[in-house]
Chains A and B, each alone.
Chain A
Amino acid sequence: MAVLVLLDHEGAAIKQPSRSAIAAAAQLGEVHVLLAGQDLAGAASAAAQIQGVAKVLVVDDASLAHALAEPAAALLVKLAPGYTHVLAASTAIGKNVIPRAAALLDVQPISDVAQILDADRFVRPIYAGNALATVRSSDLIKLITVRAASFDPAPATGGAASIEAIELPDNSGRGAAFVSEAIAHSERPELSAARVVISGGRGMGSAENFALLEPVADALKAAIGASRAAVDSGYAPNDFQVGQTGKVVAPDLYIAVGISGAIQHLAGMKDSKYIVAINKDETAPIFAVADYGVVADLFTALPELKTELERV
């Protein structure tokens, strides 16, 4: 039997964390992917080209337009009996839908899987990444969310999967209704997929000062992140948050500015290839995990960094 992956898409593009989930699923068996939404022709053809995908299932219906948990979970429940495993990336959508579907199937979901040992055994971080649990599931179908940063995404091209339209199951249950959304549109790469991330912490001091990261991010083509302390203090929006309770990132280069290095922040970025810490406090714990550390006042260091980057 095959493995089903619920995809996140944005317009005609399949989001990178979903390609990581496909890479994880490929370790378990033949990969079928599910696209649920509205006006999916472009996304379906993008999904069919992802390497390792054998079949694309498409459910195109207005009721699925906003990826609400209730109809999406009902759909997974209908399809799950044909699969050994049902996966999604640990995105806002995956985390919302997978546990709901699991409960309807009487299955204990396995959240945020970082390593697949075999069909029944998985490694997942617990206690904000301070420990790793190896768990064995006795459920007949496994429902899993995948920590995208732990799996290299499947290449976006090179595949040639078949595309199959399927019917929306009856879902007469009560559900929430979409009212509105406010998505910040940015020219910068998405935080969880960026090659370079620059993050600010409590040391930034204010929302106005937090903007000092922007010119450096522009020079590096980097995404901007934040520590929980910066988010709590109102310097940055919540979806900037890197950490166990926010996003988990693993870019090639992670630059932590004015971040002390709380455990919960480290859990969100310690798998980065290179970590740089800029902090005026030389005893900050962030320096213990940084490949390169600079003890400096960020208000002089950031403009200097921008100037130096533009010189090279």
Chain B
Amino acid sequence: MKLLVPVKRVVDTNIKVRVKSDQTGVETAGVKMSMNPFDEIAIEEAVRLKEKGFATEVIAVSAGVAACAETIRTALAMGADRGILVETDVALEPLAVAKLLRALVEREQPELVILGKQAIDDDMNATGQMLAALLGWPQATFASKITPVDGGLEVTREIDGGLETLSMSLPAIVTADLRLNEPRYASLPNIMKARKKTIENLTPAALGVDPAPRLVIEKVSEPGERKAGVMLASIAELVDKLKHEAKVI
């Protein structure tokens, strides 16, 4: 069985982004880019499912500028078998990505697509749900545990106030939450091996998808900053301030 895992190239999670002075976006020139952390978790889970014998092949896919090949290469170093890059300079929205992925699913026929639950740049939290809808497949979002069972999966999901377990037949969509696993670091030999793995290059046009965005970004601005308040000498003073100054207790 094949598994497909989309990976997104984003500003590294440890970088504090800066809004461009012309308010057209955030500064990405010269900024360290990495794989979206939730996508790392998705790749890790797919590779573990392969190691357990549940899957036979893990395909890592990315869509975007040519440099997304680096992100795919990271996935290959973590254990994915081959990559597909859908190259475009268009800033892709989840709807466009879901349509590109649908086309790839129809071509590659995976039984399971595991995605990160959200990308840490646009924070949309939408692509997995949208791909499931376009394919007419069941979805289990925000997964913290995936258990193969006879003919399908049981997936435990993080919901408000606790956990929920769903069962699904395949093919299906799962999106990865934080606690699904801890992604491995790629070892040097595996990084070397990944260089020999193939990455196929495609375009949205070749997949028959119009990637034009539906949302116009009019402006990107800095959020209002909070000002630091006062440092207090003791807990007793704190309680006094909360009671008599802030009046919140």
Contact = CB atoms under 8 A, between A and B. Distances in A.
Contact of B161 (A239, A244, A290, A292): A239
B154 A179 contact: yes
Interface string A114-143: 000000010011111111111111110000
A125 B220 CA distance: 9
Given A92-B142, A95-B125, A305-B239, A139 B214 contact: yes
A130 B223 contact: yes
A14 to B, nearest CB: 14
B67 interface: no
Interface in A169-198: 173-184, 190, 192, 196
Interface string A72-100: 01000000000000000001110111111
B246 A291 contact: yes
Interface residues of B, number: 83
B56 interface: no
A26 B170 CA distance: 41
A312 B243 contact: yes
Interface in B214-249: 214-223, 226, 228-243, 246, 248-249
Contacts of A180: 164-165
Contact of B229 (A66, A97, A190, A290): A290
A312 B249 contact: yes
B209 interface: no
A71 B137 CA distance: 12
B129 A99 contact: yes
A104 B136 CA distance: 9
Interface string A17-53: 0000000000000000000000000000000000000
B112 interface: no
A238 interface: yes
Given A190-B161, A263-B16, A276 B178 contact: no
A239 B178 contact: no
Interface stretch (A57-65, A105-113, A200-208): A105-113
A138 B166 contact: no
A127 B17 contact: yes
12 contacts: A100-B129, A101-B133, A102-B95, A108-B215, A128-B120, A131-B223, A132-B221, A196-B248, A282-B231, A293-B228, A294-B238, A309-B249
Interface of A: 8, 66, 68-70, 73, 91-93, 95-104, 106-112, 121, 124-139, 173-184, 190, 192, 196, 220, 228, 231-232, 237-239, 241, 244-245, 252-253, 263-264, 270, 273-276, 278, 282, 287-296, 301, 304-305, 308-309, 311-312
